């Protein structure tokens, strides 16, 4: 049976992190000339705007999965104009990249807070690490809850950034590809993405297999950078 207190923390972090991810997509799209998500209210850190678009993916499914398994499984999306993406495939690429970058910023921000806590003598590197447990404390009061929150932000956003940047449809990474293509090839690729939506399920299945291979080495690299000399393996 999952620890419901930890499960609730995981859901809150998932909700905030996913909201920032989608708001980043929406903001960069607006800056690039597509106000679709802006008109939907999604250039916002208020999760209600994003929940209204995907109530099942942001509330029902993650709450069910977090209670049953301890892990929030969910999804969200930001609307955009496909014709705008065809006209400006590189701008659409920056829009796609913005979501994973937002998650990476949360990884960096939580790492900076952990480092500050270590420098202050409040936190220390744990003997063993796993998801949601990458920093420890001997301090009383609310500090154990703070270490759980920071650890969860660090780990979950590393998961979200790694998974979403995989270059397989329908993930963000597939829409980032035009940034590396000649303009004419970028337009052709954007046409391909929009005409081959039937590959989305296959892409998700392949992404999960690839993620299983990639995430653990990246996680170990990240926590060893967080705690130099700890030698986690």
Q: Give the pLDDT confidence of 109-120 residue by residue, as tens digits.
A: 999 999 999 999
Is residue 233 situated within a structural domain?
A: no
- pLDDT on residue 2: 64
pTM of the predicted protein model: 0.94
The predicted structure's pLDDT at residue 18: 98
- Smallest CA-to-CA distance from 128 within 216, 6, 233 is with 233
Find the length of the chain: 233
Q: Is the CB of residue 134 less than 8 Å from the CB of residue 159?
A: no
Residue 12: CB atoms within 10 Å? 15
Closest Cα partner for 131 from 159, 101, 164, 103? Answer: 159
Instruction: Answer yes or no: is 231 within a domain.
Output: no
- Report the number of distinct structural domains present in the chain: 1
- Asked whether residue 29 is assigned to any structural domain, the reply reads yes
**pLDDT at 232 (0 to 100):** 94
Flag whether 97 is in a domain: yes
User: For the chain, what percent of residues have pLDDT higher than 70?
Assistant: 99
The mean pLDDT value for 39-50 works out to 96
Residue 70 has pLDDT above 70, yes or no: yes
- Quote the domain boundaries for residue 164: 4-226
Mean of pLDDT over the chain: 94
Maximum pairwise Cα distance, the chain: 60
pLDDT at 3: 80
Each residue's pLDDT tens digit, 155-208: 999 999 999 999 999 999 999 999 999 999 999 999 988 887 777 888 889 999
Asked, for residue 27, whether it belongs to a domain, the answer is yes
Q: Is residue 23 included in any domain, yes or no?
A: yes
Angle between helix axes 200-226 and 143-164 (nearest 10 degrees) is 140
Q: Is residue 95 part of a domain?
A: yes
* Inside any domain, residue 232: no
* Lowest-confidence segment of 19-23, 103-107, 191-195 by average pLDDT: 191-195
* Residue-level pLDDT at 223: 97
Question: Is 1's pLDDT higher than 60?
Answer: no
């Amino acid at each position: 049976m999952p620890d419901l207190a930890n499960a609730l923390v995981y859901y809150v972090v998932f909700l905030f992190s996913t909201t920032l991810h989608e708001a980043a997509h929406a903001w960069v799209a607006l800056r690039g000339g597509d106000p679709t998500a802006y008109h939907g209210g999604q250039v916002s850190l208020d999760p209600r705007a994003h929940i209204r678009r995907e109530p099942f993916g942001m509330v029902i499914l993650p709450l069910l999965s977090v209670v049953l398994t301890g892990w929030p499984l969910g999804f969200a999306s930001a609307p955009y104009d496909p014709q705008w993406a065809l006209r400006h495939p590189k701008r659409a690429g920056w829009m796609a990249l913005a979501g994973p970058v937002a998650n990476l910023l949360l990884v960096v921000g939580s790492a900076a807070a952990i480092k500050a806590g270590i420098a202050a003598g409040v936190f220390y590197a744990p003997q063993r690490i796993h998801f949601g447990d990458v920093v420890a404390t001997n301090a009383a009061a609310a500090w154990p809850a703070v270490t759980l929150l920071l650890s969860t932000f660090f780990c979950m956003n590393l998961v979200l950034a790694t998974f979403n940047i995989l270059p397989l449809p329908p993930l963000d990474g597939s829409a980032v590809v035009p940034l590396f293509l000649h303009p004419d090839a970028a337009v052709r690729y954007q046409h391909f993405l929009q005409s081959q939506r039937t590959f989305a399920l296959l892409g998700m299945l392949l992404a999960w297999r690839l993620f299983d291979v990639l995430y653990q080495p990246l996680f170990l690299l990240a926590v060893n950078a967080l705690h130099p000399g700890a030698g986690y393996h």
